[in-house]
Amino acid sequence: GAGVSQTPSNKVTEKGKYVELRCDPISGHTALYWYRQSLGQGPEFLIYFQGTGAADDSGLPNDRFFAVRPEGSVSTLKIQRTERGDSAVYLCASSSYVNNEQFFGPGTRLTVL
């Protein structure tokens, strides 16, 4: 079956602009996660959804970052007033309610100039 998909695969933007990153989880997976990975580092947790609600957003670095999952499937990560330090690969993962085995998408590489 289809895995987790993310669009776009690459996004280049200018400092101060607004960006949206999309994640389409594995069909039937109720949990969805966003992580951020910088070069040479492991993924860093941002936010976790169970269904439509954000169950844990403790990893969002500041109020410029926001994520939604209005229908309990597709999720969008929104970043306002982008800064050069936001440049990273943004990874999305999903898991079923049965266990916490998280399956990752290919990521969106965000570059802020």
Partner 1 sequence: EDQVTQSPEALRLQEGESSSLNCSYTVSGLRGLFWYRQDPGKGPEFLFTLYSAGEEKEKERLKATLTKKESFLHITAPKPEDSATYLCAVATGGGNKLTFGTGTQLKVEL
Binding site for partner 1 (CB under 8 A): 4, 31, 33, 35, 40-45, 48, 50, 55-56, 58-59, 91, 93, 99-107
**Shortest reach from residue 81's CB to partner 1, in Å:** 26
**Shortest reach from residue 110's CB to partner 1, in Å:** 14
CA torsion sign for 41, 43, 45, 47 is: positive
**Shortest reach from residue 48's CB to partner 1, in Å:** 5
Cβ nearer to partner 1, comparing 80 with 100: 100
Maximal C-alpha separation, the chain: 41
Cβ nearer to partner 1, comparing 9 with 80: 9
Amino acid at site 17: K
- Region of 24 (left: φ > 0; alpha: ψ -120 to 50; beta: rest) is beta
Cβ nearer to partner 1, comparing 10 with 80: 10
Rounded CA-CA distance 89/23 in Å is: 13
